[in-house]
Chain A
Amino acid sequence: MKKKTLKATLFSLVIGLLMLVSACGATEKATSGGTDSKEKQKLRVVTDAAYAPMESMDGDKIVGFDVDVLDAVLKEAGYDYELVHVGWDPLFVELKSKRADIGISSITIDEDRKQTYDFSVPYFESINKILVPEDSGIQSGADLKGKTIAVQNGTTGQAVAEGILGKNNKDIKKFENNVLAIMELLKGGADAVVADNAVVEEYVKNNPNKKLKVVTDSSFPSEFYGMMLPKGSKIKEDIDKAIKKVVENGTYANMYKKVFGSEPDLKELEKQY
């Protein structure tokens, strides 16, 4: 009796795993087969709309600077598109399995990511900044040594924190998103949050009563956001051309002024082309 149940369990386990593996293979095949006829098809664009002012939900609509850029660029390139909020981690899964054509979500172009994905030319310059309580003594990245840092999982803010404290240090707390990381800071569970300037500055601007300030460390490297594409994407050339065009003809500067209230530094951006 006992042997029989053990055997049955093992058998169903093996069947289950086989089904899982074959399902993974099947979906990959099906989608890559469909890419040939993608030219006239609507592009599927995925984002994680929880990163104001770059992208956020306004009711059931996705708005933000990234969305403005996306719209201008795809119009310029002559593509139809559908923008879907899928969340940060699923975004990468969808692009990897080629279920989506573009990911745009303030994604920093970096060498690690380039191994698995393609990127457009950069469309935005960003720098990580440190968010701390107003009465904090932290004045630079070096002051973060020995402190607890909250970050959003998988972001370059995490990479900066790891550069200071070491990889997978237990004093780096990785959260689902920046809002939770900032909550942790406000509740005393962390001494600082490291995140993109657009996010921390927007937070301080919107929450003056929380008594937080932004610390700039000029030694943190500049980063550039790009649109993320599946490896070997056929639309890369069109997108690149359209981004350069939108930056050149002044559309980009106009959109930038509308959202951030200042002139963009286009020289740094164009140096990357």
Chain B
Amino acid sequence: MDFRFDLIADYLPLFLRGTLITIEVSVLGILFGTILGLFIGLGKMTKKKYIRLPFVWYINFFRGTPLFLQILLVHFGVIPAFINDTNAFIALVTALSLNSAAYIAEIFRAGIQSIDRGQMEAARSLGMNHKQAMRNVILPQAFKRMIPPLGNEFVVLIKDSSLGAIIAAPELMYWGRAMQGQYYRPWEPYLTTALIYLILTLTLSYVLEYVERKVKTE
């Protein structure tokens, strides 16, 4: 197999620029996705049915349709409705945030509901009110259980940001495909981008492992 490293060297500045955009959209996606997901997860746990319903359908919609489609809809439909122009970067961040929020909401709910009912009862009988019990007893324990699935979601989000290439968001995959389009050689751009994605996700995995070790109690 002839492998032309000189072509990769040529494209490296663009790959690095793309990597930076990939990191930016991923970080923003994780950030907004987590905030939004927290809110939606709490919404889904409320007792009143008519308050719960919109949150349930939010999750249904974003988990039940492909992210690929959501990106196209946001790029050509939602964003132009607000700014009367297209903006691939904003569209990608928006789509990733909305999508990951649906998954993070469920991770959140599962984490909180996995804590034994007795913990709340014990905290309440010690004289804490519901809010205090939540903050000091339930959430710290739930958070620990949420780290692995959250990490999973973040890794998936980094990889899914590659779908931004479809709307010409200049992230890593976009430049990989641009290089493929220019030279008509598949292996150099695809293996290079694969390696960069691997570096990104492995780095994140190690960070999460570190966090997990830090909050370990026993």
Residue contact A96 to B183, C-beta cutoff 8 Å = no
Instruction: Identify which of residues 73-126 in chain A touch chain B, using a CB-to-CB cut-off of 8 Å.
Output: 89, 92-93, 96, 112-113, 116-117
Q: Which of A172-180, A212-220, A246-254, A260-268 contacts B (4 or more CB under 8 A)?
A: A172-180
Which residues of chain B have C-beta atoms less than 8 A from A176's C-beta?
165-166
Task: Classify the interface of chain B: helix, strand, loop or mixed.
Answer: helix
Residue contact A153 to B177, C-beta cutoff 8 Å = yes
Which residues of chain B have C-beta atoms less than 8 A from A184's C-beta?
86, 168
Cα(A195)–Cα(B16), bound, Å:
29
Instruction: Identify which of residues 73-97 in chain B touch chain A, using a CB-to-CB cut-off of 8 Å.
Output: 76, 80, 84-88
Number of chain A interface residues as a range: 20 to 34
Which residues of chain A have C-beta atoms less than 8 A from B108's C-beta?
none
Number of chain B interface residues as a range: 20 to 34
Q: Which of B86, B181, B186 contacts A188 (CB 8 A)?
A: B86
- Kindly report which residue of chain A lies nearest to residue B72, judged by CB atoms: A180
Contact of A154 with B187 at beta-carbon distance under 8 Å, contacts A25-B1, A187-B80 already known: no
Residue contact B1 to A28, C-beta cutoff 8 Å = yes
Which residues of chain A have C-beta atoms less than 8 A from B183's C-beta?
112, 116
Question: In the complex, how many residue pairs between chain A and chain B have their CB atoms under 8 Å apart?
Answer: 69
Cα(A96)–Cα(B3), bound, Å:
13
CB distance from B207 to the nearest CB of A (A): 15
CB distance from A117 to the nearest CB of B (A): 7
Is B14 interfacial (CB-CB < 8 Å)?
yes
Instruction: Identify which of residues 141-194 in chain A touch chain B, using a CB-to-CB cut-off of 8 Å.
Output: 150, 153-155, 158, 168, 170, 173-176, 180, 183-184, 187-189
**12 A-B pairs, CB-CB below 8 angstroms?**
A24-B1, A96-B185, A96-B186, A154-B178, A154-B181, A170-B170, A174-B181, A183-B76, A184-B168, A187-B80, A189-B85, A189-B88
